[in-house]
Amino acid sequence: MTSPQLVGQEPSLSTLVQMRLRTDIEIPIAWLLLPLASYLLWAVFAVAWWSDGAGLGTSDLTLVISGLGTLGLAASAAGSYLVFILVNRANEHSSRTRALLLSALSALEARVGISGTQALLPLNSAEEGFNKLAEVERERSAVLWALLSLIPFVGWIFLAVAQLRLSRDLAKHNRLEGLVFEDVDRTLRSIGMQGIPVRYAPVRPHDTLGIIIVICSVIELFSAFVLGAAGALILVYLTIGAFSIFWIDLSIRDPTGHFHYHSKLEADILRALPDGTSTSAGVA
């Protein structure tokens, strides 16, 4: 059995950099088939239920519809696993980044103590930036969001909300960690060391997509006058589901550039601050 180490140990800078291979994972795009299968099965289920004349609120399921529901639930479970992976990846990346920055700041503090006081200003700024990062960044519960997106039909709304939060969190994380990295770079240069190549490449949140989903859904709700309540709800489900799948695709791809940037940057940080100089760090 491989369980995590129950006794937590403060990981060193090099350990944290090595962890990148396990936290900053690239998710194969083929995994998109999981929510797609769930979307299609529940769509067929909804249409079959509706056309069967059962309508909403009827519990008299036929064998075929129950079979479709069971398959849909299995596919939803697989789809929610993808949501878990996406949210967990974001959590682990931001946690590792915080731990890495903490370790780097501790190492820098030791260096600045030796080199003089001219580096204190950027170092203080870096610490302030880090404080803000640690204060502002919140871990979303991957377990909660995966379970919420597992709920048939309604789960797609939660899935869309999860994607919105993921994209916003990534944008915020990118902006705030960029500020800390800039200060780390300035501190390194001020103590006569080679800096780290910081580039500012903003990651944009996909709020517009969220707004489009809401507008389309509201408009479709008016189709209840033509299609009836059940028909309108199915239409809303089809729309939210289609947009959510597109959004999952974006969520899978979005962090790739950010992760590549980290791989380069972290190697440079490690080169500038090898483990021997780092002091004990707290926990991020």
Partner 1 sequence: MSRNALLGLKRIFFDRIFLRSYWTWRKHPAIIVPSMLQSGLSLILQSVITLAVMLLLISEPADTQLARLFAAMISSRSGGLLGVLLNPAFWFTNIPLSTGVFVALILVALLGGGWVYSSEYGTYLEAWNSESIPISAVVSNGSRRWMSMAWTLLVSNLVTWGPAAIGLGLIAASLANINSPAGVVALLAASYAFQPLFFASLILSVFTVYSYPAVVVDGASGMGAVRRSFRVASHNLGLTLTYSIVRIIFQGLLLLVTYLANGLGVAASLSTAFIVVTLSFILTPILHLTKSMIYYHAGQSVRETPFQISNLIWRDVMRRLPRAVWLKIRAGLGEGLRFVVGPRNLPFHAASFAALAIGIYLGYNVSVSGVGSSLLGLGAQPGHGNPDFRQFTAATPVDGVAIFLNNWFVSFATAFSGLGFAAPSFISIMFTGFTLGVLVGPQLSPSLTMFSAAILPHGIIEIPSFLLAGSAGMRLGYAALKTKFRPGPESDAYLSKTMRLAVYVVVGLAPLFFIAGLIEADVTPFIMKMFGWTF
Q: Which residues make up the interface to partner 1 (CB under 8 A)?
A: 1-6, 8-11, 19, 22-23, 59, 61-63, 65-67, 69-70, 73, 81, 88, 91-92, 95-96, 98-99, 102, 105-106, 109, 127, 130-131, 134-135, 139, 141-144, 147-148, 150-152, 279-284
Q: Mapped to the 3 state alphabet, what secondary structure does 180-236 carry?
A: HHHHHHHHHHHCCCCCCCCCCCCCCCCHHHHHHHHHHHHHHHCCHHHHHHHHHHHHH
Measured from the CB atom, the residue of 150 and 270 that comes closer to partner 1 is 150
Instruction: Residue 64: name the closest of 40, 37, 45, 46 by CA.
Output: 45
Q: What proportions of the chain, in percent to the nearest 5, are helix, strand and coil?
A: 75, 0, 25
The neighbour count for residue 119, using CB atoms within 10 Å, is 23
Q: How far is the CB of 85 from partner 1 (least distance, A)?
A: 9
Q: How far is the CB of 56 from partner 1 (least distance, A)?
A: 15
Measured from the CB atom, the residue of 49 and 261 that comes closer to partner 1 is 49
Measured from the CB atom, the residue of 27 and 147 that comes closer to partner 1 is 147
Measured from the CB atom, the residue of 33 and 224 that comes closer to partner 1 is 33
Q: How far is the CB of 204 from partner 1 (least distance, A)?
A: 27
Measured from the CB atom, the residue of 23 and 235 that comes closer to partner 1 is 23
Q: How far is the CB of 144 from partner 1 (least distance, A)?
A: 5
Q: How far is the CB of 262 from partner 1 (least distance, A)?
A: 15
Contact predicate 56/229, CB 8 Å: yes
List the Cα angle 58/78/236 in 5-degree steps. 45
Q: How far is the CB of 112 from partner 1 (least distance, A)?
A: 12
Measured from the CB atom, the residue of 28 and 202 that comes closer to partner 1 is 28
List the Cα angle 16/81/164 in 5-degree steps. 80
Instruction: Residue 183: name the closest of 101, 238, 258, 259 by CA.
Output: 101
